[in-house]
Structure 1
Amino acid sequence: MDYAYEIDCVVEEHLRGVRRLQQEYEDMRQGLSGHGGAEVLAAVEQARAEYAEQERLAAEEKERLEVEARAEQERMATEAREQREAIARSIAARKAQDVVMPIDDEGDEESEYYRRKSWLI
Structure 2
Amino acid sequence: MVDYVAEVERLAEESLRRMSVLREELEEIKQETARRDQEFSANLATEMSQFWQEHAETEEAARAEAEEKERLEAEAREQREAIARSIAARKAHELVTPVDEDDDPEGEYYRRKSWLI
Q: Which of the five TM-score ranges fits, normalised by the shorter chain?
A: 0.3 to 0.5
State the structure with more CA Rg: 2
RCO comparison, higher one (Cα < 8 Å, 6+): 1
